[in-house]
Structure 1
Amino acid sequence: MAKAIQKQALGRGLSALLKDPENDIKSIGDKNADKVVGNIIELDIDSIEINPFQPRTNFNEDSLQELASSIKELGVIQPITVRKLDFNKYQLISGERRLRASKLIGLASIPSYIRIANDNESLIMALVENIQRHDLDPIEIALSYQRLIDEIQLTQEQMSDRVGKKRSTIANYLRLLKLDPIIQTGIRDGFISMGHGRAIINVDNQDIQTDIYQKIVSQNLSVRETEALVKNYQESLKPVVAKTNKSVSFTIDENQKKEFTDFFGTKIDVKMARNGKGKITIPFHSEEDFKRIIKLIKS
């Protein structure tokens, strides 16, 4: 408890330091920057602006109210992270739910980690910290990755190194953005999962995508059932190859059959299928007749 009180007092002392125009810190090399950057400091909530690079766009009101009640009872347990913009002016990097909940209960200040970062670093930090700390929906994550590609010109390999995710994982999220907007909304609202979306994306036609989406929702299809539905659709697109009957490479005429009959002294039955395979049936009428045919074959 003593350490907590000491830490809180330190945070308030540093907060006073930041409000002194004579000690305005703008870079990591400025005087007293080492006392501020990376430390927990009580900042006025009104001095903090929302990060325009924030990947999260949906905030559940019930969840915010629950967090607000917890903060009212226990305080802000985990500080938010901000970057310094100007004198007594900061921009949120991560912790928007905590900031919003604190505003709901009328807090005047909030414990904060202070960073000094440019816009590119702020975007990357916001993405990484929010993905790791909060349950963003798959489309929000995909949009965040796309912003890193568009605004920071990162390749998927570079992004993999920066955010600590496999390249294949990043690629799977980005592919979701090829889905029809209606389906993207369905994923964000929780009507279908990312697994459903990954199955649907294998269909190029967006009209068919939405048809499949409606079936998933109306019939409560599982991901496995959706994959089977997509597979059946893809199979239906394949051209039907007409089966060709192989012609027999040779024929047996009546004279050849007669030669068999004359040789064995009994009517020989010769049958042949269309693939050229066949059989010869040699009938016999007694044991003596059978032995006679055997002698003919051996001779």
Structure 2
Amino acid sequence: MSKKMGLGKGLQALIPSYEDENKKTLRNITVADIKPNPKQPRQEMDKQKLQELADSIKEHGVVQPIVVREVPDGGYQLIAGERRWRACQLVNMDTIPAVVTEYTNIQAAEVALIENLQRENLNPLEEAVAYQSLINEFGLTQEELSKRVGKSRSYVANMLRLLALPDDVLALLSSGQISNGHARALLALDTDEKKIVAANEIIKKQLSVRETEKLVKELLQNKENRKKKNERAPEMEDLKDQLQGVFGTKVQIKTNSKGTGKLEIEFYNDDDLSRILEILLDDNSHVSRETN
């Protein structure tokens, strides 16, 4: 069993030394014998940048070896360096320099993730999916995962929370139309519908993360105001009925989100107005309002 590696200490700490004479792992292997890593975190590759890399490899060769491991049914499984491998395919190279390792499944998955994280090649959704995949497949806790990938537990937890967003919002995150910061702000909203509407508002108005946080705060405040209004509705209806009974005419009570408002009492002619004023000015007239 190989010694446990410090997976959070950088990619070079994960790859056996090329100079180690006891492990002759650096080889030129046939490009066609290499199979892609099914656990590759990155789902999208920029075709233009891949072609630029292919042109560079055609001119200068592969500067940094890829990392692979042998598989039981023959050939090799790619662990790190998929862009270099695919670029070699584009220019029809027969062989590619590779470090052949004996990584376990979890080590292979971790190295693939670490390489992409260090090269900043993953979008936030790909990173979150990769973390969740490691947790599900290998039974890791968030604490264990954070130590393995060299991130804080809170960072990993926040990335995983992104997966709670509706698919429409995740698609916008994956395509780069909204950022990680935008997505995290949307998590505070309580329904998928509100999150989708707010996400589209971000794109339409090109909102910054700070402006998005303000938008979310306003939406939450509106919800709270509606809740308070609904809670007070029966009480206000009862009060309106009492007032209409006292004045013998239609009464409207209008309130706003600040708790202020106005009381409207209808009258139909001068005599009706005088009658209502007498009631208002009569010290013996009163309207009782129950309070909790």
TM-score normalised to the size of structure 1?
0.67
Q: Which one has more relative contact order, counting CA pairs under 8 Å at least 6 apart? A: 2
Q: How many residues matched? A: 212
- The alpha carbon displacement at 1:93 in A equals 0.4
- Looking at structure 2, the residues matched to 205 and 34 of structure 1 have their Cα atoms a distance apart, in angstroms, of 58
Residues 52-71 of structure 1: pairs in structure 2 closer than 5 A: 52-71=38-57
Return the match for 2:167 from 152, 163, 181: 181
- Looking at structure 2, the residues matched to 156 and 212 of structure 1 have their Cα atoms a distance apart, in angstroms, of 29
- The alpha carbon displacement at 1:77 in A equals 0.9
Query: Within the alignment, does 1:191 sit opposite 2:164 as a pair?
Result: no
- Looking at structure 2, the residues matched to 232 and 200 of structure 1 have their Cα atoms a distance apart, in angstroms, of 12
In the other structure, the counterpart of 1:99 is 85
In the other structure, the counterpart of 2:194 is 208
Runs (4 or more) in structure 1 with deviation over 3 Å come to: 241-244
- Looking at structure 2, the residues matched to 179 and 187 of structure 1 have their Cα atoms a distance apart, in angstroms, of 10
Structure 2: any 5+ residue segments left out of the alignment? 1-15, 233-258, 261-292
In the other structure, the counterpart of 1:110 is 96
- Residue 240 of structure 1 aligns to a residue in which SS? helix
Give me the identity figure in percent.
Answer: 42
Return the match for 2:208 from 201, 222, 231: 222
Return the match for 2:106 from 120, 129, 137: 120
- Looking at structure 2, the residues matched to 134 and 234 of structure 1 have their Cα atoms a distance apart, in angstroms, of 34
Structure 1: any 5+ residue segments left out of the alignment? 1-27, 245-299
Alpha-carbon RMSD: 2.1
- Residue 83 of structure 1 aligns to a residue in which SS? strand
Equivalent AA in structure 2 for residue 204 of structure 1:
D
Query: Within the alignment, does 1:47 sit opposite 2:10 as a pair?
Result: no
- Residue 35 of structure 1 aligns to a residue in which SS? coil
- Looking at structure 2, the residues matched to 201 and 99 of structure 1 have their Cα atoms a distance apart, in angstroms, of 38
Q: Write the deviation string for residues 217-248 of structure 1: whole angstroms up to 9, x where unpaired.
A: 1111111110000001111122337769xxxx
- The alpha carbon displacement at 1:190 in A equals 1.0
Return the match for 1:129 from 115, 120, 124: 115
In the other structure, the counterpart of 1:35 is 23
Equivalent AA in structure 1 for residue 138 of structure 2:
I
2:68–2:101 CA contact under 8 A, matched in 1: yes
Q: Write the deviation string for residues 234-263 of structure 1: whole angstroms up to 9, x where unpaired.
A: 11122337769xxxxxxxxxxxxxxxxxxx
- The alpha carbon displacement at 1:89 in A equals 1.1
- The alpha carbon displacement at 1:172 in A equals 1.1
- Residue 113 of structure 1 aligns to a residue in which SS? strand
2:29–2:96 CA contact under 8 A, matched in 1: yes
Instruction: From the superposition, tell whether residues 109 and 117 of structure 1 become closer, same or farther in structure 2 (CA, over 3 Å).
Output: same
- The alpha carbon displacement at 1:87 in A equals 7.4
- Residue 232 of structure 1 aligns to a residue in which SS? helix
- The alpha carbon displacement at 1:49 in A equals 0.4
- The alpha carbon displacement at 1:204 in A equals 2.2
Query: Within the alignment, does 1:240 sit opposite 2:198 as a pair?
Result: no
Name which one, 1 or 2, has greater alpha-carbon Rg. 1
- The alpha carbon displacement at 1:120 in A equals 2.0
Equivalent AA in structure 1 for residue 95 of structure 2:
S
Equivalent AA in structure 2 for residue 209 of structure 1:
K
- Looking at structure 1, the residues matched to 118 and 55 of structure 2 have their Cα atoms a distance apart, in angstroms, of 24
In the other structure, the counterpart of 2:12 is none
- The alpha carbon displacement at 1:161 in A equals 0.9
Q: Write the deviation string for residues 107-128 of structure 1: whole angstroms up to 9, x where unpaired.
A: 0011111110222221122112
Q: Which is further off, 230-239 or 156-165? A: 230-239
